């Protein structure tokens, strides 16, 4: 294992980034595998990360949990009988529980959720549900039958394996759902304190997640536009609000056939009632830009930046053509401010070189497809030995254009009478107006806003932050497995999405923590590396004290130690046995 560096030049400065690399044999080859990105290894960043670690997880060890009062005990040991038992995953669940406590969710859930009839706190069950979704997303049945007993959560939560079963996990979902509003309000305040997050600019987007099964007991499960490319399945829509840094602020669930634009007013009113109104700027994409929504936002005095449909570009064709007034907002991106002729809003015209190349390639691709299909159709008409039905041929032309809509308007196609056996021939002409407009509009898009005190660069950069909301959906779908949903009842579906939301809070907290520690932005890498740290029971048969059992945590290897050092985490070395285990051990001595 060794350190390797790469040099980057940015803004006129030279940065030297380090990463920890190990050699791994794959078949006959030896490859270098990156264990962790260590950033610039500056002392200031390391101090800041350790300070954040103290605010998140407190002192390195809780003495009542990690001390067994045997540090000074000296006894003779029978070496032949030494053995290792009860190996469990420790590092990843320890980190998950540290984040759960650091974000204040443990204390809040203990206050909000009741104690079960068996005197088991529902707050502990909530911790199990969220930690499992964070570390190894799976069903409640899998948690109860396999995952929980393989982890050290039993020791960290003082909650026995037999006390976690699927029925108790399902009831825990029900209790957790009742506190959704309080959880969102708390996280907004607590994470603002930890990471200095500002929620005056809010990013809003909608996605969908689908079900397995008919879900007849859930009226929200409907068929609609599927972002998961599963139109065959029922779904619900999830409307998520994140801060400018991508930290989740809240969400709502809508029926699966709800159009994006019909969610905006509900979300804005709900979030402002929960988090306040003053100074809010709402940023969302063109799916929300209905005339009713824009009028409502203006009439109620709310500030916004919203993407506009591409069709509105034609209103500003003269401004697009004029070479003056453009300024560079980013490399390859130019912006220009103008006014909307009907509403007086600020309109931000944008044109991107990368986007232009992409749209040109798409137009060329679909044009070639149409031309090739029309050539084949013309050849069939010319070679026909009998009269053809013009209606059938027109339907074939319609199908060709429908399958290649991006370039369909470029072609003017007609069936002209002819003396050939088919009775007509195919005439194809090119629409020059389409080519002229494509040359002007390719790579261009526009934004609408009622903000007058921001520059064009500020408006564009704020809108581009919508990628944070899109990234949040990708993480929840790919890393936290919010899809597919197997629950059939509406309340259980809502609770499932809430658990995924809370797990994403932990995910984003870890991402921001490791970013400040110079460890990149891949929490899954951290979790997989720390999951290899285990706890074991070391059983020592002694000559004077019977059989001793020590619950020890494996020492991290070099790669893990580097990660923990950058994060400012000190793992405990030992854990205390539960009272039940101590009594059982005494009985066998």
Q: State how far the alpha carbon of 109 is from the alpha carbons of 178, 184, 187, 277, in Å.
A: 11, 12, 12, 27
Please report whether residue 444 resides in a domain: yes
pLDDT of residue 62: 46
> Does the structure show a pLDDT above 60 at 43?
no
pLDDT band, residue 587 (cuts 50/70/90): very low
Radius of gyration of the chain (CA): 31
Please report whether residue 8 resides in a domain: no
By mean pLDDT, which of 40-44, 156-160, 270-274, 519-523 is the weakest?
40-44
Beta bridge partners of 254: 237
Contact by Cβ (8 Å): 224, 256:
yes
Q: Residue 177 — left, alpha, or beta (φ > 0 → left; ψ -120 to 50 → alpha)?
A: alpha
Please report whether residue 167 resides in a domain: no
pLDDT of residue 586: 46
User: What is the extent of the structural domain holding 347?
Assistant: 312-460
- Tally of structural domains, the chain: 1
pLDDT band, residue 94 (cuts 50/70/90): very high
Beta bridge partners of 535: 88, 553
pLDDT of residue 522: 85
Please report whether residue 53 resides in a domain: no
State the average pLDDT over residues 486-511: 94
For the segment 333-382, what is each residue's pLDDT rounded down to a tens digit?
999 999 988 888 999 999 999 999 999 999 999 999 999 999 999 999 99
pLDDT of residue 252: 95
Please report whether residue 483 resides in a domain: no
pLDDT band, residue 571 (cuts 50/70/90): confident
State the average pLDDT over residues 211-231: 92
pLDDT of residue 583: 46
Please report whether residue 435 resides in a domain: yes
- Between these two residues, 17 and 25, which has the higher pLDDT value? 25
Rounded distance between C-alpha atoms, residue 67 and residue 335, angstroms: 62
């Amino acid at each position: 294992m060794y350190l390797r560096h790469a040099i980057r030049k940015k803004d006129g400065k030279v940065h030297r980034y380090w990463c920890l690399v190990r050699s791994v044999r794959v078949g006959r080859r030896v490859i270098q595998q990156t264990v962790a990105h260590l950033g610039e290894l500056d002392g200031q960043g390391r101090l800041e990360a350790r300070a954040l670690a103290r605010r998140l997880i407190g002192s390195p060890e809780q003495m009542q949990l990690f001390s067994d009062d045997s540090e000074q005990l000296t006894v003779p040991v029978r070496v032949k009988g030494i053995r290792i038992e009860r190996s469990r995953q420790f590092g990843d669940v320890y980190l998950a529980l540290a984040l759960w406590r650091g974000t204040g969710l443990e204390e809040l859930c203990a206050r909000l959720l009741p104690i079960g009839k068996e005197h088991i706190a529902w707050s502990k069950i909530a911790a199990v549900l969220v930690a499992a979704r964070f570390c190894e997303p799976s069903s409640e049945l899998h948690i109860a039958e396999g995952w929980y007993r393989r982890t050290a959560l039993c020791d960290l939560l003082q909650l026995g394996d037999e006390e976690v079963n699927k029925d108790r996990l399902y009831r825990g979902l029900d209790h957790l759902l009742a506190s959704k509003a309080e959880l969102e309000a708390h996280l907004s305040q607590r994470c603002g304190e930890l990471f200095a997050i500002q929620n005056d600019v809010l990013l809003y987007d909608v996605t969908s997640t689908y079900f397995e099964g008919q879900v007849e007991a859930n009226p929200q499960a409907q068929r609609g536009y599927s972002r998961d490319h599963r139109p065959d399945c029922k779904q619900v829509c999830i409307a998520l609000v994140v801060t400018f840094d991508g930290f989740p602020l809240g969400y709502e669930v809508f029926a699966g056939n709800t159009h994006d634009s019909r969610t905006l007013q509900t979300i804005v009113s709900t979030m402002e009632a929960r988090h306040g109104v003053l100074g809010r700027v709402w940023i969302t994409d063109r799916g929300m830009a209905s005339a009713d929504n824009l009028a409502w936002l203006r009439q109620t005095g709310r500030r916004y930046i919203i993407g506009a449909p591409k069709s509105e570009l034609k209103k500003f064709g003269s401004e697009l053509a004029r070479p003056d007034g453009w300024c560079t907002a980013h490399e390859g991106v130019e912006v220009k401010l103008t006014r909307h002729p009907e509403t007086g809003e600020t309109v931000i015209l944008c044109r991107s070189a990368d986007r232009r190349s992409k749209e040109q390639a798409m137009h060329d691709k679909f044009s070639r497809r149409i031309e090739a299909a029309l050539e084949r159709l013309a050849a069939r008409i010319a070679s026909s030995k009998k009269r053809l039905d013009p209606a059938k041929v027109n339907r074939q032309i319609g199908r060709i254009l429908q399958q290649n809509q991006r370039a369909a308007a470029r072609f003017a196609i007609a069936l002209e009478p002819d003396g050939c056996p088919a009775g007509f021939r195919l005439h194809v002409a090119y629409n020059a107006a389409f080519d002229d407009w494509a040359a002007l509009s390719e790579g261009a898009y526009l934004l609408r806003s009622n903000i007058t005190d921001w520059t064009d660069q500020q408006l564009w950069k704020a809108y581009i932050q919508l990628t944070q909301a899109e990234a949040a959906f990708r993480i929840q779908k790919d890393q936290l497995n919010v899809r597919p949903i197997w629950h059939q009842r509406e309340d259980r579906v809502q609770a499932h999405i809430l658990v995924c939301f809370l797990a994403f809070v932990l995910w984003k907290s870890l991402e921001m923590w490791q970013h400040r520690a110079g460890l990149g932005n891949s929490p899954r890498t951290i979790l997989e590396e720390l999951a290899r740290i285990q706890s074991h029971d070391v059983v020592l048969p002694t000559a004077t004290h019977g059989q001793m059992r020590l619950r020890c945590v494996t020492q991290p290897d070099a790669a893990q130690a580097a990660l923990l050092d950058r994060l400012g985490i000190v793992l405990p070395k030992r854990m205390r046995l539960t009272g039940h285990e101590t009594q059982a051990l005494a009985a066998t001595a």
